[in-house]
Amino acid sequence: MDLLEYQAKELFSKVGIPILPSQPIADPRQIKKLQIPYPVVLKSQVRAGGRGKAGGIRFVENTIDAIAAAQYIFNLPILGQYPNVILAEARYNAKEEFFLAIVLDYQLKRPVLLGSAKGGVEIEPLLENIQKVVVEADFSPFYARRLVTKMGLRGKLIQSVSAIVEKMYRLFVEKDLDIIEINPLGVGVDGEVMALDGKITINSNALVRHPDLYSLQRANNNFTNDSQSLSALPSPQWLDYQDESGNIAIVCNSLGLALVTWDLIVRDGGKPRGSLVIDRATKSELLPHYYIARSLNTALEKLSEVSGIKAVLINILGNEEITGSATNAIVDYLQLLQQKAAVKQLAIEEGSLDGSDLGSEPEPLQWIIRIVGGKKDFPEATFTEMPVRWIDDLEEAVSQTISLAKIE
């Protein structure tokens, strides 16, 4: 979970990382009661990056300007996100700007300190000058000093900047952070340092033991989409990429299976629209096997809302319990669809529904279902009115799906 800037700064302040006087504003009218002397910076509190370049940061000299700027920022989406809060902050003239970050290197399995003497919004010089120190054993302040000297800092800055890195490390460990970043760390004319902007990402698996952060997550939830980590049952998730021009939908019961299926469709000349993944396992809980039925049903309903799909390939691997539940759920869903179609047909024949209105009705979906791992028998239910195929072999299922999706 990403914290917003003002939330990150609250944490900075708690461990003694200096921040400017600031005030979160939830309503433009609050600007009149600002406690900070002008000139002031107003900053959109969204998680999307690049908000400065998008116009989400405004410098203002007086209340009238500030109200207008606040109204502008509240109505400015940045990568589709509108802010709920604006941060009003004192202005600061930095002589120099540094970049500091701590992340876990999953390859080295150790935390890594990163720093660049060219901090700020220009990415290229920042990355060109980036320095890295791996925390090999228990952390001690010398790791921080090693980083800042590698960054080329000398004199008093060695102590003052490494003290910031130490405090960042304390937060990193105490709060189970994935990332903590200060960019820029401003250096003033007298050499004092100030965290001007910062980012904190909290590890979502560790939230349970940080009740203070958990409440922030709840507060932020109305504009996030990563809320599934805390919900009781995970819902079927789309893979994070959907191709509007694709016409094949994939439904699988694990991410791995979705990847295999997607690859095969692409390599054999088909075009996936997207893939829904139903995962039965959440962390250390085992969801009851009937969960797969409920989850599949939700997935199929989600599919019915997506336009442009011609064929649906359902690929489920599991034990007898899972495949049994999945088969029943699919049969139930398709039978319901068939019934609805029959009722509609009847209404047209009886004249109570005008058949000519149906010109815009989409073609019925082609269903290709591969469920493997349980008993060999296919379900007894037949779908005389609907194109449903049960296929055991993966490659066969894929090639049928592709050819059915191509039929105009």
Token pair of 406 as six digits: 């191509």
CA angle 225, 226, 228 (to 5 degrees): 110
Nearer to other proteins, 169 or 334 (CB): 169
Locate tokens 């102590």: which residue?
A: 159
My answer on whether omega of the bond before 236 falls inside 30° of 0, hence cis, is no
116: three-class secondary structure by DSSP: strand
Please tell me the distance from the alpha carbon of residue 37 to that of residue 23, in angstroms, as a whole number: 11
Closest distance to other proteins from the beta carbon of 110 (Å): 7
3-class DSSP assignment, residue 406:
helix
Question: With respect to other proteins, which residue has the nearer C-beta, 96 or 176?
Answer: 176
Q: In sequence order, which residues have a C-beta less than 8 Å from that of residue 96 and are 6 or more positions away? A: 117, 186, 187
Which of 24/234 has CB closer to other proteins?
Answer: 234
Instruction: Choose among 98, 127, 255, 261: nearest CA to 188.
Output: 98
The token pair that represents 338 in the structure block: 């068939």
3-class DSSP state for residue 380? coil
Q: Position of tokens 């989406």? A: 77
Helix H or strand E encompassing 142: helix 141-150
Nearer to other proteins (CB atom), residue 5 or residue 338: 5
Residue closer to other proteins (CB basis): 114 or 292:
114
Nearer to other proteins, 67 or 179 (CB): 179
Q: Which residues contact 62 (CB under 8 A, 6 or more apart)?
A: 38
CB of 67 to other proteins, least distance (A): 30
Residue 49 beta carbon to other proteins: minimum distance, rounded to whole angstroms: 4
The values of phi and psi at residue 13, to 5°, are -60, -40
Q: Nearest approach, Cβ of 92 to other proteins (angstroms)? A: 21
Residue closer to other proteins, measured from CB, 14 or 199: 199
Closest distance between other proteins and the C-beta of residue 76, in Å? Answer: 17
Q: Least separation, in Å, of the C-beta of 154 and other proteins?
A: 24
Closest alpha carbon to 249 in 323, 310, 331:
310
- Comparing CB distances to other proteins, the nearer of 107 and 231 is 107
What's the min distance (Å) between Cβ of 375 and other proteins? 11
CB of 91 to other proteins, least distance (A): 23
Among the listed residues 326, 350, 346, the one whose alpha carbon sits nearest the alpha carbon of residue 338 = 346
Binding site residues, other proteins, CB under 8 A: 48-50, 99, 101, 103-112, 114, 123, 126-127, 130, 132, 172-173, 176, 178-179, 181, 183, 199, 203, 205-206, 208-209, 239-241, 243, 253-260, 262-264, 266-267, 275, 281, 283-286, 317-319, 372-373, 394-395
Which helix (H) or strand (E) segment holds residue 64: the answer is helix 63-74
In the bound complex, what is the minimum distance in angstroms from residue 342's beta carbon to other proteins? 37
Question: CA 160 to CA 186: how far, in whole Å?
Answer: 12
Q: Tell me if residue 236 falls in helix, strand or coil.
A: coil
Cβ proximity to other proteins, 144 vs 337, nearer residue: 144
212 or 263: CB nearest other proteins: 263
Going by C-alpha positions, the residue among 105, 267, 287 that lies closest to residue 179 is 105
Smallest separation (angstroms) from other proteins to the CB of 68: 28
Distance from C-alpha of 408 to C-alpha of 397, rounded to nearest angstrom:
19
